[in-house]
A and B are shown apart, each in its own frame.
Chain A
Amino acid sequence: MEVEPLVIDAKGMHYTPLNKMIRAAVASGVKEIVLNNVLGQRFIGNGLRGDAKIIINGVPGGDLGMFMSGPECEIFGDAEHAPGNTMDKGSLIIHGSAGDAVAHSMRGGKVFVEGNIGYRGGIHMKEYEDKRPILAVGGTSHAFLGEYMAGGLILVLGIGHEPAVRDRGIGSGIHGGEIVIRGDVNDKLLGVGATKVLFTEDDLERLAPVIEEFCERFDLDSSSFLDTNYSRIIPSSSRPFAGKYTWD
């Protein structure tokens, strides 16, 4: 039986009752929830399971979809601090920009940001077996992108930005996963432990589905991005600290 979408006017609401309503709706089988007039409510979809779709109209507060495991949130507006924090499964589709620490410690699912992201995007993202988190950004990113990254994929298309990323510390301390940035990346911007390698046809073949999906979500023409004009940044070692210590 089809369950009606639930529409909530979140104007002035505190996040706890809002999340309780979302949880209750998902538990009762609602598949689509529309939140209108969202402004600053943190923790939306926090720890939520299932496969519901949540449309968020407005600007949600920090830690959007933290620990989320399954649902999709589509945001028509900007997101603040750390959307997708420690997210497990599901996706955040942000029709706007996002703040610092986007996809912090994310372990699975997708975070798509149409605009730009702040500092330390994708920090400490990590993968395990079939769980491979993806952070894709249409615009640019600020410094320390993919710091301490332990797995997954960060893709920055740099639309409207030349170069795509111009801030320092890319992949600082990276020991797993890959960072793919449109065009060339100045070697000076690479962080400690990060290495730039050639982006090959094989890489393109591997990443084409992600690029296509991203473009589709934001009505972009994917054909103009399906080439090898990318820089690929990977760890120089999966054991960056192996040589740092001597025994007592």
Chain B
Amino acid sequence: MSLGSVPLKYKISIDREQCMKCMRCVDNCSYGVYRVEDDKILIDSRKCTACHRCMSMCPRDAIMLQEKPVDYRSHPLWTAEAREDVINQARTGKIILAGMGNAIDYPIIFDRLVLDACQVTNPSIDPLREPMELRTYLGKKPAKLEFTKNNGDVELSTKLAPNLKLDTPIMIGHMSYGAISLNAQLSLAKAVAKTGTFMGTGEGGMHDAIYPYQDHMIVQIASGRFGVDINYLERGAAIEIKVGQGAKPGIGGHLPGEKVCSDVSCTRMIPLGSDAISPAPHHDIYSIEDLAQLVRSLKEATNWEKPVFVKIAAVHNVAAIAAGIARSSADAVVIDGFRGGTGAAPKVFRDNVGIPIEAAIAAVDQKLNDQGIRNEISLIASGGIRNSADLAKSIALGADAIYIGTASLIALGCRVCGNCYRGLCPWGIATQRSELVERIDPQVGSQNVANLINAWTLELSELMGAAGLNSIESLRGNRERLRGYMLDEGLLNVLKVESVGA
């Protein structure tokens, strides 16, 4: 028996009076919503992903989009999505693949935290007039300063381990070449170079077009070891071992063969068109001491000149895992919350596995603090950071710096339609089709991304100034400057934050 079709997700209509038939929509839609017949633009709404490319290019604002134009009988449990997933799987018997971050309406803790400002008892600081220090060093810090004194001359014995110096605590997370296009990666790379910060290569090796920006690149080594050789390791400003990812904790990743074009195959060092499979674990890491071995192996291979970060997904036991990582010679631990984006993840993982980044930062920071080693290792947070307020709250909860991913892609045009895995991204981001990739001009793209980083940096300075802080060290872990609004007691305890009014 046929299940028939499910209702349209989106309905596209064109205001024919406004339309001047310039055909930009037809040219821009890579999903095939529009076609021309007898001088008329025909619409196939079923193909629409709500990527907004057509609308953004329409000179007359003639295109309208309606989400879920057909009603189901309303039901609080059997939502339209629940029903459609069942129908999909009844039809195919397969795992549902989805893009971008967690799409379930969980409460957002960031939005239940409020920041502090000075009134009377201490003055706010105007960052335009007074010094404001956002410089952040990522890497191992000594527990204690060692020095000797010879007739009043102080001789430093402590030798600092290599640290990354950031002008602003905002970095761009790991999105591989392959998952995103070269022009997208180039735009991001130029932007971090401009703003004095860093970005991740993702697990895809480093394309030679990125070499000029290698001093701003954190090279990733993941379970697939794609594109990893000694040259790659030496190029990076730092090395990051990816153990897990917030969007899909506990499973590996597959770059589908159709995305492995010749350039991607060369950068990843794998044959053209073959699936690039990253196994779930690193098969040389089955335990914490194996992680320490890989960290030290990477350091040994690069002469102890590169900081090594370890990225894990925020899972229930994240604090204890991070404490283990802190003992491994690693310089920073990266935690990726369950709202982290991705090009493709099984929907059941994306929406149901892991914990929110806010709780993870608090738990990790607290555990490291309890063990007296918090300042010796850096903590980088990612996964669903949307604006400078989320950034400030992350740092106040205990992060040293953050990675942004989705936000940086939105700055390149992404409208979070979530179809990245299809390789047809009309914005030229999550695709390898040259005609689409060319839609990004890295000059323009990098300026947009740099603008975003600069704007958040400015806002962070203002927030800190208002709180009477002129140095980022004094915001880090300063939970006195946060209050919880309508958070339950259990969560307040985890966050070690008082309620508003307290």
Contact = CB atoms under 8 A, between A and B. Distances in A.
A147 B96 contact: no
B188 to A, nearest CB: 25
Chain B's interface: helix, strand, loop or mixed, by majority? mixed
Contacts of B254: 241
A16 to B, nearest CB: 7
Interface stretch (A62-70, A160-168, A218-226): A62-70
A166 B229 CA distance: 34
Interface stretch (A2-10, A32-40, A42-50): A42-50
A42 B297 contact: yes
A104 B274 contact: no
Given A66-B297, A126-B269, A244-B95, A175 B274 contact: yes
Given A47-B301, A245-B94, A246-B97, A126 B270 contact: yes
A58 to B, nearest CB: 18
B304 interface: yes
B199 to A, nearest CB: 23
Contacts of B225: 86, 105, 107, 124, 126
B229 A69 contact: yes
A194 interface: no
B456 interface: no
A241 B234 CA distance: 33
A245 B229 CA distance: 31
B275 interface: yes
Contact of B284 (A47, A82, A88): A82
B283 A238 contact: no
A91 interface: no
A67 B230 contact: yes
B324 interface: no
Interface in B187-227: 223-225
B476 interface: no
Contacts of B418: 248
B275 A241 contact: yes
A63 B451 CA distance: 44
Interface in B235-277: 254, 256-257, 265-266, 269-271, 273-275, 277
Interface string B300-318: 1111100000000000000
Most chain A CB neighbours (cut-off 10 Å) among B223, B265, B301:
B301
B289 to A, nearest CB: 10
A150 B277 contact: yes
A62 B294 CA distance: 10
Interface string A131-169: 100000000000000011011000000000000000000
A53 interface: no
A63 B230 CA distance: 14
Contact of A247 (B270, B279, B422): B422
Contacts of A62: 293
B421 interface: yes
A232 interface: no
Contacts of A88: 229-230
Given A104-B284, A248-B97, A23 B303 contact: yes
Contact of A239 (B228, B229, B230, B257): B257
A194 to B, nearest CB: 14
A151 B270 contact: yes
Nearest to B84: A248
Contacts of B231: 69
A123 interface: yes
In the A-B complex, the 4 residue pairs with the closest CB atoms: A47-B301, A105-B225, A246-B94, A248-B98
10 contacts: A43-B296, A43-B300, A124-B223, A128-B271, A131-B269, A239-B274, A240-B275, A244-B95, A245-B97, A248-B418
Interface of B: 88-89, 91-92, 94-99, 223-225, 228-231, 233-234, 254, 256-257, 265-266, 269-271, 273-275, 277, 279, 283-284, 293-294, 296-297, 300-304, 346-347, 418, 421-422
Interface of A: 15-16, 19-20, 23, 42-43, 46-47, 49, 62-63, 66-69, 81-82, 85-86, 88, 101, 104-105, 107, 120, 123-124, 126-128, 131, 147-148, 150-151, 173, 175-176, 238-248
Given A49-B230, A69-B229, 18 more contacts: A16-B304, A23-B303, A42-B296, A46-B297, A63-B294, A69-B231, A81-B284, A82-B284, A85-B297, A124-B223, A124-B283, A148-B279, A175-B277, A238-B257, A240-B275, A241-B277, A245-B346, A247-B422
